Chain A
Amino acid sequence: MSAQIVTWRRTHAVLGFVVALVAVAAGQVQPAKPPAGVQGPLRGGYTEAGTLPARILDFKAEPASIKPGESVTLTWAVENPRSTTISPTVGRAAPRGVLKVTPKATTTYTLTVTGTNGTVTKTVTVAVAGTKAVATSETEPADISKQPTPRTADGKPDLTGVYGYGQGAARGAPPPATAPGSLPRTPTLKPGAEKYRVVRGPEDTGLYSTCTPPGVPQTFMVPYYVQFVQSPKYLIILHEYLHLSRTIPLDGSPHPSDPDPFWMGHSTGKWEGDTLVVDSIGFKESEINGYKTTESLHVVERIRRPNLGTLEYEAVIEDPNVFAGPWLITRTFPLLPEYNRVDEFFCENNRDYKPLFGK
Protein backbone atom coordinates (compact mmCIF):
# COMPACT_ATOMS: atom_id res chain seq x y z
CA MET A 1 0.00 0.00 0.00
CA SER A 2 1.40 3.38 -0.90
CA ALA A 3 2.30 5.99 1.71
CA GLN A 4 -0.09 8.34 -0.03
CA ILE A 5 -3.05 6.10 0.66
CA VAL A 6 -2.02 5.53 4.26
CA THR A 7 -1.82 9.30 4.80
CA TRP A 8 -5.14 9.79 3.09
CA ARG A 9 -6.81 7.21 5.30
CA ARG A 10 -5.42 8.72 8.50
CA THR A 11 -6.51 12.18 7.44
CA HIS A 12 -9.99 10.94 6.84
CA ALA A 13 -10.20 9.06 10.12
CA VAL A 14 -9.38 12.31 11.97
CA LEU A 15 -11.78 14.33 9.85
CA GLY A 16 -14.52 11.81 10.45
CA PHE A 17 -14.09 12.22 14.22
CA VAL A 18 -14.20 16.01 13.93
CA VAL A 19 -17.32 15.80 11.78
CA ALA A 20 -18.99 13.63 14.40
CA LEU A 21 -18.21 16.16 17.15
CA VAL A 22 -19.41 19.12 15.08
CA ALA A 23 -22.50 17.26 13.96
CA VAL A 24 -23.58 16.39 17.49
CA ALA A 25 -22.96 19.94 18.74
CA ALA A 26 -25.13 21.61 16.10
CA GLY A 27 -28.75 22.31 16.95
CA GLN A 28 -30.53 20.55 14.11
CA VAL A 29 -27.98 17.80 13.51
CA GLN A 30 -28.29 14.85 15.85
CA PRO A 31 -27.04 11.27 15.98
CA ALA A 32 -29.70 9.18 14.28
CA LYS A 33 -31.88 7.08 16.56
CA PRO A 34 -31.66 3.39 15.70
CA PRO A 35 -35.00 2.04 14.49
CA ALA A 36 -36.89 -0.04 17.04
CA GLY A 37 -35.76 -3.63 17.21
CA VAL A 38 -32.71 -3.11 15.03
CA GLN A 39 -29.27 -3.97 16.32
CA GLY A 40 -25.86 -4.04 14.74
CA PRO A 41 -24.25 -1.66 12.25
CA LEU A 42 -26.54 1.13 11.09
CA ARG A 43 -25.05 1.81 7.62
CA GLY A 44 -26.12 5.37 7.21
CA GLY A 45 -29.88 5.64 6.99
CA TYR A 46 -30.19 2.45 4.97
CA THR A 47 -30.82 0.21 7.97
CA GLU A 48 -33.81 2.31 8.99
CA ALA A 49 -34.89 2.50 5.34
CA GLY A 50 -35.25 -1.28 5.36
CA THR A 51 -37.80 -1.06 8.20
CA LEU A 52 -40.13 1.60 6.76
CA PRO A 53 -43.72 0.43 6.24
CA ALA A 54 -45.29 0.35 2.79
CA ARG A 55 -48.43 2.48 2.43
CA ILE A 56 -51.02 3.46 -0.13
CA LEU A 57 -51.43 7.22 -0.50
CA ASP A 58 -54.06 7.12 -3.20
CA PHE A 59 -56.05 4.73 -5.38
CA LYS A 60 -58.99 5.98 -7.37
CA ALA A 61 -60.99 5.40 -10.54
CA GLU A 62 -62.41 8.34 -12.49
CA PRO A 63 -65.21 8.38 -13.37
CA ALA A 64 -66.53 5.80 -10.94
CA SER A 65 -69.51 4.97 -13.19
CA ILE A 66 -69.48 4.46 -16.94
CA LYS A 67 -71.60 3.12 -19.76
CA PRO A 68 -70.53 -0.07 -21.54
CA GLY A 69 -67.61 0.63 -23.89
CA GLU A 70 -66.38 3.69 -22.01
CA SER A 71 -63.05 3.88 -20.19
CA VAL A 72 -61.99 4.93 -16.72
CA THR A 73 -58.64 6.15 -15.45
CA LEU A 74 -57.03 4.39 -12.53
CA THR A 75 -54.58 6.53 -10.55
CA TRP A 76 -52.48 5.27 -7.69
CA ALA A 77 -49.60 6.30 -5.43
CA VAL A 78 -47.64 4.03 -3.11
CA GLU A 79 -44.59 4.55 -0.88
CA ASN A 80 -41.90 2.15 0.37
CA PRO A 81 -43.24 -0.89 -1.54
CA ARG A 82 -41.39 -4.09 -2.26
CA SER A 83 -44.02 -4.98 -4.82
CA THR A 84 -47.10 -3.30 -6.24
CA THR A 85 -49.85 -5.08 -8.18
CA ILE A 86 -53.34 -4.26 -9.41
CA SER A 87 -55.91 -6.93 -10.13
CA PRO A 88 -57.74 -7.94 -12.17
CA THR A 89 -55.96 -7.68 -15.54
CA VAL A 90 -53.26 -5.09 -14.78
CA GLY A 91 -50.67 -7.13 -12.88
CA ARG A 92 -47.37 -5.59 -11.76
CA ALA A 93 -47.41 -1.83 -11.47
CA ALA A 94 -44.96 0.98 -10.76
CA PRO A 95 -45.43 2.68 -7.35
CA ARG A 96 -47.00 5.69 -9.06
CA GLY A 97 -49.15 5.34 -12.12
CA VAL A 98 -52.05 6.32 -14.31
CA LEU A 99 -53.77 3.74 -16.50
CA LYS A 100 -56.82 3.71 -18.72
CA VAL A 101 -58.98 0.57 -18.43
CA THR A 102 -62.21 -0.44 -20.14
CA PRO A 103 -64.05 -2.96 -17.97
CA LYS A 104 -66.93 -4.72 -19.71
CA ALA A 105 -68.88 -5.17 -16.50
CA THR A 106 -68.90 -3.68 -13.01
CA THR A 107 -65.44 -4.43 -11.60
CA THR A 108 -63.69 -4.00 -8.28
CA TYR A 109 -59.98 -3.26 -8.73
CA THR A 110 -57.62 -4.16 -5.90
CA LEU A 111 -54.30 -2.41 -5.35
CA THR A 112 -52.01 -4.72 -3.37
CA VAL A 113 -48.75 -3.46 -1.91
CA THR A 114 -46.30 -5.59 0.01
CA GLY A 115 -43.57 -4.18 2.19
CA THR A 116 -41.79 -4.76 5.46
CA ASN A 117 -45.16 -4.47 7.22
CA GLY A 118 -46.81 -7.23 5.19
CA THR A 119 -49.58 -6.57 2.71
CA VAL A 120 -51.71 -3.42 2.36
CA THR A 121 -54.68 -3.32 -0.01
CA LYS A 122 -57.21 -0.81 -1.24
CA THR A 123 -60.11 -1.34 -3.64
CA VAL A 124 -62.11 0.82 -6.00
CA THR A 125 -65.24 -0.28 -7.82
CA VAL A 126 -66.10 0.86 -11.31
CA ALA A 127 -69.85 0.55 -12.01
CA VAL A 128 -70.70 -0.26 -15.61
CA ALA A 129 -74.36 0.63 -16.27
CA GLY A 130 -76.64 -2.31 -16.90
CA THR A 131 -74.08 -4.98 -15.91
CA LYS A 132 -73.56 -7.23 -12.93
CA ALA A 133 -70.35 -7.22 -10.95
CA VAL A 134 -67.85 -9.78 -12.23
CA ALA A 135 -66.21 -12.09 -9.76
CA THR A 136 -62.68 -10.90 -9.10
CA SER A 137 -61.08 -14.17 -8.19
CA GLU A 138 -57.79 -13.18 -9.79
CA THR A 139 -55.58 -12.03 -6.93
CA GLU A 140 -52.17 -13.23 -8.00
CA PRO A 141 -50.60 -11.57 -11.02
CA ALA A 142 -49.47 -13.87 -13.80
CA ASP A 143 -45.96 -15.23 -13.27
CA ILE A 144 -44.07 -13.82 -16.23
CA SER A 145 -41.23 -16.29 -15.74
CA LYS A 146 -43.68 -19.08 -16.63
CA GLN A 147 -44.87 -17.46 -19.86
CA PRO A 148 -43.20 -18.40 -23.16
CA THR A 149 -40.39 -16.57 -24.88
CA PRO A 150 -41.82 -13.87 -27.14
CA ARG A 151 -40.78 -14.32 -30.77
CA THR A 152 -40.46 -12.18 -33.86
CA ALA A 153 -42.23 -12.94 -37.15
CA ASP A 154 -39.21 -14.96 -38.33
CA GLY A 155 -39.29 -17.11 -35.19
CA LYS A 156 -36.27 -15.62 -33.42
CA PRO A 157 -36.54 -14.75 -29.74
CA ASP A 158 -37.62 -11.14 -29.30
CA LEU A 159 -35.39 -9.58 -26.64
CA THR A 160 -37.39 -6.32 -26.57
CA GLY A 161 -38.19 -5.06 -23.09
CA VAL A 162 -37.01 -3.05 -20.09
CA TYR A 163 -34.96 -5.09 -17.65
CA GLY A 164 -33.90 -4.50 -14.08
CA TYR A 165 -30.36 -4.91 -12.85
CA GLY A 166 -30.91 -8.32 -11.43
CA GLN A 167 -31.00 -7.50 -7.77
CA GLY A 168 -31.21 -10.83 -5.99
CA ALA A 169 -31.64 -12.82 -9.15
CA ALA A 170 -28.16 -11.96 -10.34
CA ARG A 171 -26.56 -13.01 -7.10
CA GLY A 172 -26.03 -16.69 -6.75
CA ALA A 173 -28.25 -17.48 -9.70
CA PRO A 174 -27.24 -20.62 -11.56
CA PRO A 175 -25.30 -19.83 -14.72
CA PRO A 176 -27.20 -20.00 -18.00
CA ALA A 177 -27.25 -23.43 -19.59
CA THR A 178 -24.99 -22.20 -22.39
CA ALA A 179 -22.22 -21.02 -20.06
CA PRO A 180 -18.81 -22.40 -20.98
CA GLY A 181 -18.35 -24.19 -17.69
CA SER A 182 -14.59 -24.39 -17.79
CA LEU A 183 -13.96 -20.65 -17.74
CA PRO A 184 -13.03 -18.95 -14.46
CA ARG A 185 -15.43 -16.37 -13.08
CA THR A 186 -12.74 -14.05 -11.81
CA PRO A 187 -9.85 -12.63 -13.82
CA THR A 188 -6.24 -13.62 -13.31
CA LEU A 189 -3.53 -11.14 -14.22
CA LYS A 190 -1.04 -12.24 -16.84
CA PRO A 191 2.40 -12.70 -15.24
CA GLY A 192 4.27 -9.40 -15.36
CA ALA A 193 1.09 -7.37 -15.99
CA GLU A 194 0.90 -5.81 -12.51
CA LYS A 195 0.74 -2.32 -13.98
CA TYR A 196 -2.79 -3.11 -15.15
CA ARG A 197 -4.07 -3.46 -11.60
CA VAL A 198 -6.23 -0.44 -10.65
CA VAL A 199 -5.20 1.32 -7.42
CA ARG A 200 -7.75 3.81 -6.13
CA GLY A 201 -6.97 6.86 -4.05
CA PRO A 202 -7.44 10.60 -4.09
CA GLU A 203 -5.71 10.84 -7.46
CA ASP A 204 -7.87 8.18 -9.07
CA THR A 205 -11.42 8.05 -7.77
CA GLY A 206 -12.53 5.82 -10.60
CA LEU A 207 -14.66 5.92 -13.68
CA TYR A 208 -17.93 5.91 -11.74
CA SER A 209 -16.97 9.12 -9.94
CA THR A 210 -16.10 10.88 -13.21
CA CYS A 211 -19.14 9.60 -15.13
CA THR A 212 -16.88 7.82 -17.62
CA PRO A 213 -18.62 5.08 -19.64
CA PRO A 214 -17.88 1.70 -18.03
CA GLY A 215 -17.88 -0.12 -21.39
CA VAL A 216 -18.92 -3.70 -22.07
CA PRO A 217 -19.97 -5.68 -20.11
CA GLN A 218 -19.63 -3.35 -17.10
CA THR A 219 -22.49 -1.06 -18.12
CA PHE A 220 -24.76 -4.06 -17.42
CA MET A 221 -23.41 -4.29 -13.88
CA VAL A 222 -24.52 -0.87 -12.59
CA PRO A 223 -27.80 -0.48 -10.67
CA TYR A 224 -29.74 1.07 -13.54
CA TYR A 225 -32.29 -0.33 -15.96
CA VAL A 226 -31.56 -1.33 -19.55
CA GLN A 227 -33.90 -1.42 -22.54
CA PHE A 228 -33.57 -3.78 -25.51
CA VAL A 229 -35.26 -2.78 -28.77
CA GLN A 230 -35.05 -5.45 -31.44
CA SER A 231 -35.81 -5.14 -35.13
CA PRO A 232 -35.14 -7.81 -37.78
CA LYS A 233 -31.78 -6.23 -38.62
CA TYR A 234 -30.60 -4.66 -35.38
CA LEU A 235 -30.62 -4.96 -31.62
CA ILE A 236 -30.48 -1.54 -29.96
CA ILE A 237 -29.41 -1.59 -26.31
CA LEU A 238 -30.32 1.55 -24.36
CA HIS A 239 -28.56 1.68 -21.03
CA GLU A 240 -30.10 4.12 -18.59
CA TYR A 241 -26.67 4.63 -17.01
CA LEU A 242 -25.06 7.62 -18.76
CA HIS A 243 -27.65 7.14 -21.53
CA LEU A 244 -25.21 4.84 -23.32
CA SER A 245 -26.45 2.96 -26.36
CA ARG A 246 -25.20 0.18 -28.60
CA THR A 247 -26.30 -0.67 -32.13
CA ILE A 248 -25.73 -4.34 -32.89
CA PRO A 249 -26.38 -5.65 -36.42
CA LEU A 250 -27.88 -9.15 -36.29
CA ASP A 251 -26.49 -10.44 -39.60
CA GLY A 252 -23.02 -11.27 -38.32
CA SER A 253 -21.49 -8.57 -40.51
CA PRO A 254 -17.71 -8.28 -40.01
CA HIS A 255 -16.00 -5.73 -37.79
CA PRO A 256 -14.22 -2.82 -39.46
CA SER A 257 -10.60 -3.75 -40.08
CA ASP A 258 -9.32 -1.00 -37.78
CA PRO A 259 -12.26 0.40 -35.79
CA ASP A 260 -11.92 3.73 -34.01
CA PRO A 261 -11.80 2.93 -30.29
CA PHE A 262 -15.14 3.64 -28.61
CA TRP A 263 -16.04 3.42 -24.94
CA MET A 264 -18.74 0.88 -25.87
CA GLY A 265 -16.67 -0.77 -28.62
CA HIS A 266 -17.84 -2.09 -31.97
CA SER A 267 -20.31 -4.96 -31.87
CA THR A 268 -21.74 -7.45 -34.32
CA GLY A 269 -24.30 -10.14 -33.55
CA LYS A 270 -25.69 -13.36 -34.95
CA TRP A 271 -28.15 -15.97 -33.80
CA GLU A 272 -26.96 -19.43 -32.77
CA GLY A 273 -30.30 -21.17 -32.29
CA ASP A 274 -32.13 -19.15 -29.63
CA THR A 275 -28.93 -17.53 -28.35
CA LEU A 276 -27.79 -14.14 -29.62
CA VAL A 277 -23.99 -14.09 -29.78
CA VAL A 278 -22.49 -10.59 -29.82
CA ASP A 279 -18.82 -10.13 -30.60
CA SER A 280 -17.24 -6.79 -29.63
CA ILE A 281 -13.83 -5.20 -30.22
CA GLY A 282 -12.58 -1.65 -30.73
CA PHE A 283 -12.70 -0.46 -27.13
CA LYS A 284 -10.94 2.51 -25.61
CA GLU A 285 -8.59 1.80 -22.73
CA SER A 286 -10.81 1.38 -19.68
CA GLU A 287 -11.18 -0.96 -16.73
CA ILE A 288 -13.08 -4.04 -15.63
CA ASN A 289 -13.40 -5.38 -12.08
CA GLY A 290 -10.34 -3.56 -10.81
CA TYR A 291 -8.12 -4.14 -13.84
CA LYS A 292 -7.19 -1.73 -16.61
CA THR A 293 -8.02 -2.98 -20.07
CA THR A 294 -6.39 -2.11 -23.39
CA GLU A 295 -7.52 -1.67 -26.98
CA SER A 296 -7.01 -5.44 -27.34
CA LEU A 297 -10.09 -6.10 -25.21
CA HIS A 298 -12.42 -8.64 -26.85
CA VAL A 299 -15.84 -9.45 -25.38
CA VAL A 300 -18.24 -12.17 -26.52
CA GLU A 301 -21.72 -11.91 -25.04
CA ARG A 302 -24.36 -14.63 -25.18
CA ILE A 303 -27.92 -13.48 -24.55
CA ARG A 304 -30.98 -15.70 -24.17
CA ARG A 305 -34.58 -15.12 -23.16
CA PRO A 306 -35.75 -18.52 -21.87
CA ASN A 307 -39.17 -17.12 -20.92
CA LEU A 308 -41.05 -13.83 -21.03
CA GLY A 309 -39.72 -12.59 -17.72
CA THR A 310 -36.03 -13.46 -17.84
CA LEU A 311 -32.93 -12.39 -19.76
CA GLU A 312 -29.89 -14.60 -19.31
CA TYR A 313 -26.60 -12.88 -19.99
CA GLU A 314 -23.00 -13.99 -20.09
CA ALA A 315 -19.85 -12.28 -21.25
CA VAL A 316 -16.50 -13.90 -21.99
CA ILE A 317 -13.73 -11.34 -21.52
CA GLU A 318 -10.29 -11.50 -23.07
CA ASP A 319 -7.41 -9.04 -23.14
CA PRO A 320 -4.08 -10.71 -23.94
CA ASN A 321 -2.16 -7.71 -22.58
CA VAL A 322 -3.78 -7.98 -19.16
CA PHE A 323 -5.37 -11.32 -18.34
CA ALA A 324 -3.86 -14.79 -18.19
CA GLY A 325 -6.84 -16.10 -20.15
CA PRO A 326 -10.53 -15.58 -20.92
CA TRP A 327 -12.93 -15.32 -18.02
CA LEU A 328 -16.68 -15.17 -17.62
CA ILE A 329 -19.33 -12.92 -16.10
CA THR A 330 -22.95 -14.15 -15.93
CA ARG A 331 -26.09 -12.34 -14.88
CA THR A 332 -29.84 -12.88 -14.96
CA PHE A 333 -31.90 -9.75 -15.57
CA PRO A 334 -35.64 -9.64 -14.75
CA LEU A 335 -38.12 -8.12 -17.18
CA LEU A 336 -39.87 -5.06 -15.71
CA PRO A 337 -43.26 -5.21 -17.45
CA GLU A 338 -44.39 -2.08 -15.63
CA TYR A 339 -41.84 0.06 -17.53
CA ASN A 340 -41.63 0.84 -21.24
CA ARG A 341 -38.61 3.16 -21.32
CA VAL A 342 -35.47 4.02 -19.41
CA ASP A 343 -34.93 7.44 -17.86
CA GLU A 344 -33.04 10.27 -19.40
CA PHE A 345 -29.66 10.31 -17.76
CA PHE A 346 -27.19 13.14 -17.95
CA CYS A 347 -24.40 13.03 -15.41
CA GLU A 348 -24.80 16.63 -14.35
CA ASN A 349 -24.42 16.66 -10.61
CA ASN A 350 -21.60 14.36 -9.67
CA ARG A 351 -19.60 17.47 -8.85
CA ASP A 352 -19.25 16.71 -5.17
CA TYR A 353 -17.75 13.31 -5.49
CA LYS A 354 -14.12 14.35 -5.86
CA PRO A 355 -14.17 17.11 -3.20
CA LEU A 356 -15.71 14.71 -0.71
CA PHE A 357 -13.05 12.20 -1.49
CA GLY A 358 -10.46 14.60 -0.13
CA LYS A 359 -9.27 16.37 -3.25
Chain B
Amino acid sequence: MDRRTFLTAGLGVLVSAGIAKAHHSTAMYDMANPVTVKGTVKRFEWTNPHAFIFLEVKDDKGGTAEWEIELMSLNHLRSYGWVRNTVKVGDVIAATGGAARSGAPSMIAGVVELPDGRKIRS
Protein backbone atom coordinates (compact mmCIF):
# COMPACT_ATOMS: atom_id res chain seq x y z
CA MET B 1 0.00 0.00 0.00
CA ASP B 2 1.58 3.29 -0.95
CA ARG B 3 1.26 6.21 1.37
CA ARG B 4 -1.24 8.10 -0.72
CA THR B 5 -3.64 5.18 -0.68
CA PHE B 6 -2.92 4.80 3.00
CA LEU B 7 -3.88 8.39 3.70
CA THR B 8 -6.84 8.51 1.37
CA ALA B 9 -8.40 5.35 2.61
CA GLY B 10 -7.76 6.48 6.14
CA LEU B 11 -9.01 4.96 9.29
CA GLY B 12 -11.28 2.29 7.91
CA VAL B 13 -8.37 0.66 6.14
CA LEU B 14 -6.19 1.03 9.19
CA VAL B 15 -8.69 -0.85 11.27
CA SER B 16 -9.49 -3.53 8.75
CA ALA B 17 -5.84 -4.13 7.92
CA GLY B 18 -5.06 -4.46 11.59
CA ILE B 19 -1.96 -2.31 11.24
CA ALA B 20 -2.73 -0.27 14.30
CA LYS B 21 -5.98 0.71 15.85
CA ALA B 22 -5.02 4.34 16.36
CA HIS B 23 -7.88 6.73 15.71
CA HIS B 24 -5.75 8.43 13.11
CA SER B 25 -3.20 7.32 10.55
CA THR B 26 0.28 6.34 11.73
CA ALA B 27 1.80 7.51 8.44
CA MET B 28 3.76 10.28 10.14
CA TYR B 29 5.61 7.72 12.25
CA ASP B 30 8.30 5.36 10.99
CA MET B 31 6.67 2.10 11.99
CA ALA B 32 9.07 -0.13 10.04
CA ASN B 33 12.11 0.87 12.12
CA PRO B 34 10.96 0.92 15.74
CA VAL B 35 13.14 2.48 18.40
CA THR B 36 13.22 2.17 22.16
CA VAL B 37 13.41 5.39 24.16
CA LYS B 38 14.31 5.31 27.85
CA GLY B 39 13.88 8.20 30.24
CA THR B 40 12.15 9.77 33.20
CA VAL B 41 8.43 10.57 33.14
CA LYS B 42 7.81 14.32 33.41
CA ARG B 43 4.08 14.27 32.72
CA PHE B 44 1.38 11.72 31.88
CA GLU B 45 -1.77 12.87 30.08
CA TRP B 46 -4.54 10.31 30.57
CA THR B 47 -6.81 11.69 27.85
CA ASN B 48 -8.62 10.85 24.65
CA PRO B 49 -8.23 10.56 21.75
CA HIS B 50 -4.73 9.42 22.76
CA ALA B 51 -2.84 9.31 26.05
CA PHE B 52 0.62 10.92 26.11
CA ILE B 53 3.73 10.41 28.20
CA PHE B 54 6.33 13.19 28.23
CA LEU B 55 9.71 11.66 28.82
CA GLU B 56 13.00 13.35 29.70
CA VAL B 57 15.60 11.47 27.70
CA LYS B 58 19.38 11.84 28.08
CA ASP B 59 21.57 11.82 25.01
CA ASP B 60 25.19 10.64 24.98
CA LYS B 61 26.52 14.22 25.15
CA GLY B 62 25.03 14.97 28.53
CA GLY B 63 22.05 16.89 27.17
CA THR B 64 18.38 16.03 27.50
CA ALA B 65 15.41 16.11 25.19
CA GLU B 66 11.73 15.87 26.00
CA TRP B 67 10.14 13.04 24.03
CA GLU B 68 6.43 12.93 23.48
CA ILE B 69 5.18 9.33 23.60
CA GLU B 70 1.75 8.85 22.07
CA LEU B 71 -0.24 5.85 23.32
CA MET B 72 -3.59 4.42 22.29
CA SER B 73 -6.94 5.81 23.39
CA LEU B 74 -8.17 5.16 26.92
CA ASN B 75 -10.56 2.35 25.96
CA HIS B 76 -7.70 0.41 24.38
CA LEU B 77 -5.33 1.14 27.26
CA ARG B 78 -7.92 -0.04 29.78
CA SER B 79 -8.39 -3.23 27.80
CA TYR B 80 -4.64 -3.84 28.17
CA GLY B 81 -4.92 -3.30 31.94
CA TRP B 82 -3.84 0.33 32.22
CA VAL B 83 -5.15 2.72 34.84
CA ARG B 84 -4.34 6.41 35.16
CA ASN B 85 -1.45 5.75 37.56
CA THR B 86 0.15 2.84 35.72
CA VAL B 87 2.80 5.44 34.84
CA LYS B 88 3.74 8.09 37.41
CA VAL B 89 5.84 11.25 37.28
CA GLY B 90 9.44 10.34 38.10
CA ASP B 91 9.18 6.75 36.87
CA VAL B 92 12.03 5.56 34.67
CA ILE B 93 10.42 3.74 31.78
CA ALA B 94 11.20 2.64 28.24
CA ALA B 95 8.84 3.00 25.29
CA THR B 96 9.13 1.10 22.02
CA GLY B 97 7.47 2.41 18.91
CA GLY B 98 7.73 4.30 15.66
CA ALA B 99 9.48 7.68 15.85
CA ALA B 100 8.24 10.75 13.98
CA ARG B 101 9.44 11.01 10.39
CA SER B 102 9.57 14.80 10.80
CA GLY B 103 12.53 14.53 13.16
CA ALA B 104 10.54 15.72 16.17
CA PRO B 105 11.32 13.83 19.43
CA SER B 106 8.00 12.06 19.24
CA MET B 107 6.76 8.51 18.79
CA ILE B 108 3.69 6.33 18.91
CA ALA B 109 4.51 3.44 21.22
CA GLY B 110 3.22 -0.13 21.13
CA VAL B 111 4.97 -1.29 24.31
CA VAL B 112 5.93 0.45 27.55
CA GLU B 113 8.36 -1.13 30.00
CA LEU B 114 7.50 -0.03 33.54
CA PRO B 115 10.08 0.61 36.33
CA ASP B 116 9.78 -2.97 37.67
CA GLY B 117 10.40 -4.47 34.22
CA ARG B 118 6.77 -5.31 33.43
CA LYS B 119 6.03 -4.75 29.77
CA ILE B 120 2.53 -3.67 28.87
CA ARG B 121 0.81 -3.01 25.56
CA SER B 122 0.25 0.65 24.86
Contact = CB atoms under 8 A, between A and B. Distances in A.
B21 to A, nearest CB: 4
Given A48-B110, A206-B7, A223-B76, 20 more contacts: A12-B28, A16-B30, A16-B33, A23-B35, A25-B59, A27-B59, A28-B57, A29-B37, A29-B38, A41-B32, A42-B31, A42-B34, A44-B31, A45-B98, A47-B34, A52-B121, A79-B118, A79-B120, A241-B49, A346-B48
Nearest to B7: A200
A356 B100 contact: yes
Interface in A30-78: 30-33, 41-49, 52, 55, 57, 77-78
Contacts of B25: 206, 208-209
Interface stretch (A130-138, A139-147, A187-195, A347-355): A347-355
Interface of B: 3-4, 7-12, 15-16, 19-21, 23-39, 45, 47-50, 52, 57-61, 65, 68, 70, 73-76, 78-81, 83, 95-104, 106-111, 118-122
A91 to B, nearest CB: 17
Contacts of A358: 28, 102
A81 B81 contact: yes
11 contacts: A12-B101, A16-B33, A43-B31, A43-B32, A48-B34, A49-B110, A80-B121, A221-B15, A343-B48, A348-B47, A355-B104
Contacts of A167: 15, 21
Nearest to A207: B10
Interface in A229-243: 240-241
A26 interface: yes
Interface in A314-359: 343-350, 352-353, 355-358
A28 B20 contact: no
Given A9-B3, A44-B98, A350 B110 contact: no
A208 B87 CA distance: 27
Contacts of B16: 171
A209 B75 contact: no
A3 interface: no
Contacts of A349: 45, 47, 49-50, 52
Nearest to A24: B35
A177 B94 CA distance: 49
A92 B101 CA distance: 41
Interface of A: 1, 5, 9, 12, 15-16, 18-20, 22-33, 41-49, 52, 55, 57, 77-81, 94-96, 165, 167, 171, 198-201, 206, 208-209, 211, 218, 221-225, 240-241, 289-290, 343-350, 352-353, 355-358
A15 B16 CA distance: 29
A80 B81 contact: yes
Interface of A is mostly: loop
A200 B8 contact: yes
A52 to B, nearest CB: 5
B69 to A, nearest CB: 10
Given A28-B39, A79-B80, A15 B103 contact: yes
A19 B106 CA distance: 10
Given A79-B81, A241-B23, A290 B120 contact: no
B59 to A, nearest CB: 4
A24 B30 CA distance: 14
A13 B106 CA distance: 17
B102 A208 contact: no
Contacts of A95: 78-81
Nearest to B16: A171
Nearest to B14: A223
A208 B103 contact: no
Contacts of A12: 28, 101-102
A200 B10 contact: yes
